[in-house]
Amino acid sequence: AHGMTQDFYEFCNRNPAIEFHPSNYTCDPTTLAKIDNLVAIVGALKADLTGQIATDSIAHKFYGGVWSDEESIRGAKYSKGGKPIIILPSQSLSGRSNIVLDLP
């Protein structure tokens, strides 16, 4: 990986304190829920009056990455002492409300 030093690789090699897992494990809500006091903060793009939240796309335009916001929110919800938090700017950059009647 770019920027990694030989010292870093030697530190990680066969170190019982370091674990590597595939994303289907690390992003699994049941795995995340095992972390006590997990706080997941997810930035939303839009919210509608029914409570739906758009976090990675609006209509057919995609803004997100490979991480699943739903999974992190669920993991925090079921974590002992965990807190799922969704943040939403009140207005878009163009000055329009990010709270809409319904999501497209």
What per-residue confidence (pLDDT) applies to 86? 94
State the burial class of residue 73 (Cβ atoms within 10 Å of its Cβ: 0-12, 13-18, 19+): buried
What per-residue confidence (pLDDT) applies to 66? 58
What per-residue confidence (pLDDT) applies to 46? 92
pLDDT above 90 (res 1): no
Any bridge partners for residue 53, and if so which?
47
Q: Detail the DSSP E strand segments found in the chain.
A: 39-43, 46-48, 53-54, 57-58, 61-62, 83-87, 99-100
pLDDT (tens digit, 9 = 90+) per residue, 43-88?
Answer: 898 999 999 988 877 777 777 665 678 899 999 999 999 999 999 9
What per-residue confidence (pLDDT) applies to 100? 94
pLDDT above 80 (res 10): yes
pLDDT above 70 (res 89): yes
What per-residue confidence (pLDDT) applies to 65? 63
